[in-house]
Structure 1
Amino acid sequence: MDFNRINEKLSILADAAKYDVSCSSSGSKRQNKNNGLGNSSGMGICHSYTEDGRCVSLLKILLTNHCIFDCAYCVTRKSNDIKRAAFKVQEVVDLTINFYRRNYIEGLFLSSGIFKNADYTMERLIAVAKKLREEENFNGYIHLKSIPGASDELMREAGLYADRLSVNIEIPTEKGLKLLAPEKNRKDFIKPMEKVKNEIIQYKNEKKLLKKVPLYAPAGQSTQMIVGASGESDAEIMYTSAFFYKSFNLKRVYYSGYVPISHDNRLPSIGTAVPLLRENRLYQTDWLLRFYGFDVRELLNTEYPNLESDIDPKLSWALRNLDQFPVDINKADMRMLLRVPGLGVKSVHKIIAARRYRKLNWENLKSIGTALNRAKYFITCDSRIFEGKDRTAAQLKGLIMNSSGSKFRKELSTQLNLFDNQSLQPT
């Protein structure tokens, strides 16, 4: 093996892979078997941080940065003058095993530019995963990036070896895709996602009837879209996310702020990078849709097409809907408790459990961990008057931001610094 050449390829193709953020790996429960290598069970593996703060890593590379397409927003587009490279299938297998044995990584995230055609590229991605599983007996985490337009047969085979599959829809709207990537068709992104969804459903049904059923993409599928390249509003972005969550049972949608890479007049000007705070707000909105029971139309609509930058989306919604408050902590149902600024999912469960035994007062809420600097303006309890009475939305917003003061700014700074974690939760 030519180690200098391998290192050169690794440098090129690992750098090219940094633009893909959708490599969280939680959710798989693949067990080690036959004294093999690796194990993706337990709390799982991800590319940055677990819930307990443990930093873990995947080998995140492209199979190649050659590509037959010329998408305006992509650094690997065929017209871009960059250094090109491509791994052989065995080279990726050897890298993964060698890195794993040295404890550098706990799994593999493998994507690729498209060379020749979708099926040819997808076959090579599958060949890597198949060799790792069958020849190296590797039981660690594998995330394969599905190639738009790949056949149903290849998508089925990919799910037998990968823990997670993902197809990047790239641009939130079909209009934006036609503008920036006219060679691509939105249907080619939908087709493999539909196949994976159906195979996962079939696997679950067969598992109910048969003991031994091969695993199929046990960590599900995800997607990613570029934010800010084609001018979509936050509403358009989140409506697209809501559609994909509902239609394809996705585990995650990832939001990647556009990084200026060219002077193409169809794109934002060089130096106009998407603020990280916008990604933050989109992820918080995403969390509200998945775990807090919000409908996307409540948060974003024709009247409010974009998220506020200075406050999180749940507080923004509450200030626009003051008629639904105050909420009585001792009587309200879970749905309404989850809508109170300052109450997270864990706090709500604690409140519901605790109030079975007594009426909760202010001190009880403090001991539970409620963010009272926000919640006190939206709730009543056994020992406190309603502090939000007769105050306007603007007054409440000012009070909340002022009471948080430097602590609010410090927490925001911390969130942005740790945002690679992608686990921000609005409360």
Structure 2
Amino acid sequence: MDILDKIRILADSAKYDVSCSSSGSSRGSKSGALGSTSPSGICHSFTSDGRCISLLKILMTNFCIYDCAYCQNRISNDIERAAFAPEELIALTMSFYRRNYIEGLFLSSGVIISPDHTMELMIRIIKTLRQREKFNGYIHIKIIPGASSHLVHEAGLYADRVSVNIELPEEANYKALTPEKNRASILKPMKQIAENITENSEEKRLSRYIENFVPAGQSTQLIVGATPTTDGKILSLSQGLYNDYNLKRVYYSAYIPISSNKLLPQLSAPPLLREHRIYQADWLLRFYKFTADELLKENENLDVNVDPKTQWALYHMELFPVEVNRASYEMLLRIPGIGLTSAKRIVRARKLSSLTYEGLKKMGIVLTRAKHFILVGGKYHGNFAMKPEFIYEAISEKKDQIQLSLFGEIDRNLSLLDPGDELMMKKAGISQLIAEKAIISKSLGGDF
């Protein structure tokens, strides 16, 4: 098969794996070697469907002995197949790197003959790149579940990052959708990699001549929407992986309907907004000191109309409004519209003088959200007197549709009143209802 046809087939087959990110490792240039790697050195570009293609992202082969129902490359699927010989991929990587097409290699593969056989071929590729070709760029390799522990360790000696994809959030999902795999075969290499990274860190403290082992850490991927699993269970699993296996990232991939299997949902489009909300919640777990239990119960899903931090805040209105001139750094991080950088700016600035509302605007705070949850010098700048239902309508991404529903409810309340009954009018607070309708109408015209 022509090399261009192989690239077309195997690059397309690799696009469903979203575990591409900045390198996270640093490797300086050396005499006689080609290239270098910096922590932020992978340039990002995106395909038409929004997926990152920052590396030469390719499969060694899309032949596979497994029959995973959700996978395009499953053995029962009638698709065009191709395979690279190790030397072909080595030459392709070096050629692309010299032409400045890429900054590294993202190598995955279908399983051929056995997990060990496949891993041996993949290791031959990255080992030859490092040792014979003196390739000093970034390499991310997928570990094949079920491969021997010595092969897992050897892969980590030549790669900057490794990943073992969990794919399915619950054990029961494996039995139904991918009977050849199980959770244990995936968690075993993840645990080994975590332990080897820890051991390597300890050895490097004793000697600077110790080689790096997976300097950019390990990651994994979960498919969102292929099973009935709730967002709460997905986030609980992710939190456990971060805590137990010291993962750098958990990536989430919206299920793309590529199979007519009755066990899989027949979606008209991938649940990309749900994927986005889970990424936002994952960010809160990693950097904002939230826990999965705080954000969601295991049987719940995230509200796609608002970001997870706003959803949490609306459920905990008893904690708000917060005076930004006195709130702790940890509490500032829990205010919608205030991020890591702006929270640090607030803490630094208020040491010099009291903060003002105008001053907050200059700090990069998203006041269209934050103003509903804060006091500035004792003054509340929100529009809805801390009423969570109105705040939700105002900052929801579907606020135009919700506005009509909300106005309908207010109008129904007004229609029940007798204009001639002054006492009833006062009891019902008609002036407040009319005022709220005017406030909402004005506020929803802005950018939330």
Post-superposition shift, 1:407?
3.8
Counterpart check, 1:329 vs 2:324: yes
Which of the numbers 297, 301, 307 marks the counterpart of 1:301?
297
**Which amino acid counterpart does residue 236 of structure 1 have in structure 2?**
K
Which of the numbers 197, 207, 210 marks the counterpart of 1:210?
207
- Partner Cα distance (2:44, 2:194) in 1: 24
- Partner Cα distance (1:223, 1:404) in 2: 40
Post-superposition shift, 1:85?
1.1
Q: 1:56 to 1:173 in 2, by over 3 A?
A: closer
Which of the numbers 16, 30, 43 marks the counterpart of 2:13?
16
Post-superposition shift, 1:45?
1.1
Counterpart check, 1:149 vs 2:146: yes
Q: 1:388 to 1:301 in 2, by over 3 A?
A: farther
Give aligned-pair identity as a percent.
53
Which of the numbers 367, 370, 376 marks the counterpart of 2:365?
370
Structure ID, larger Rg: 2
Q: Does the 8 A contact of 2:368 with 2:447 survive in 1?
A: no
Q: Does the 8 A contact of 2:60 with 2:84 survive in 1?
A: yes
- Partner Cα distance (1:255, 1:264) in 2: 22
- Partner Cα distance (1:333, 1:392) in 2: 24
TM-score, length basis structure 1: 0.89
- Partner Cα distance (1:407, 1:255) in 2: 29
**Which amino acid counterpart does residue 317 of structure 2 have in structure 1?**
L
Counterpart check, 1:280 vs 2:276: yes
Post-superposition shift, 1:67?
0.7
Indicate the SS of the match to 1:368: coil
Q: More displaced, 388-397 or 78-87?
A: 388-397
TM-score, length basis structure 2: 0.85
Matching residue of 1:312: 307
Matches within 5 A, 1:79-94: 79-94=76-91
Matches within 5 A, 1:235-274: 235-269=232-266, 271-274=267-270
Q: 1:148 to 1:35 in 2, by over 3 A?
A: same
Which of the numbers 335, 341, 356 marks the counterpart of 1:340?
335
**Which amino acid counterpart does residue 68 of structure 1 have in structure 2?**
I
Unaligned runs of 5+ in 2: 47-51, 400-442
Matching residue of 2:392: 397
Matching residue of 2:418: none
Unaligned runs of 5+ in 1: 50-54, 409-427
Q: Does the 8 A contact of 1:326 with 1:386 survive in 2?
A: no
Matching residue of 1:423: none
Counterpart check, 1:354 vs 2:349: yes
- Partner Cα distance (1:218, 1:100) in 2: 21
Provide, for residues 212-245 of structure 1, a one-character-per-residue CA deviation record: whole Å limited to 9, x for no partner: 1101111000000111111111111111111111
Matches within 5 A, 1:57-96: 57-96=54-93
**Which amino acid counterpart does residue 353 of structure 1 have in structure 2?**
R
Which of the numbers 120, 123, 128 marks the counterpart of 1:126?
123
How many corresponding residue pairs? 398
- Partner Cα distance (2:30, 2:200) in 1: 20
Q: Does the 8 A contact of 2:220 with 2:249 survive in 1?
A: yes
Indicate the SS of the match to 2:219: strand
Q: Which has the higher contact order (CA 8 A, sep 6+)?
A: 1
**Which amino acid counterpart does residue 15 of structure 2 have in structure 1?**
K
Counterpart check, 1:114 vs 2:111: yes
Q: 1:404 to 1:281 in 2, by over 3 A?
A: farther
Q: Does the 8 A contact of 2:139 with 2:159 survive in 1?
A: yes
For the aligned residue pairs, the C-alpha RMSD in angstroms reads: 1.8
**Which amino acid counterpart does residue 330 of structure 2 have in structure 1?**
R
- Partner Cα distance (1:33, 1:150) in 2: 32
Q: Does the 8 A contact of 1:373 with 1:404 survive in 2?
A: no
- Partner Cα distance (1:262, 1:371) in 2: 42
- Partner Cα distance (1:311, 1:162) in 2: 38
- Partner Cα distance (1:210, 1:37) in 2: 26
Indicate the SS of the match to 1:243: helix
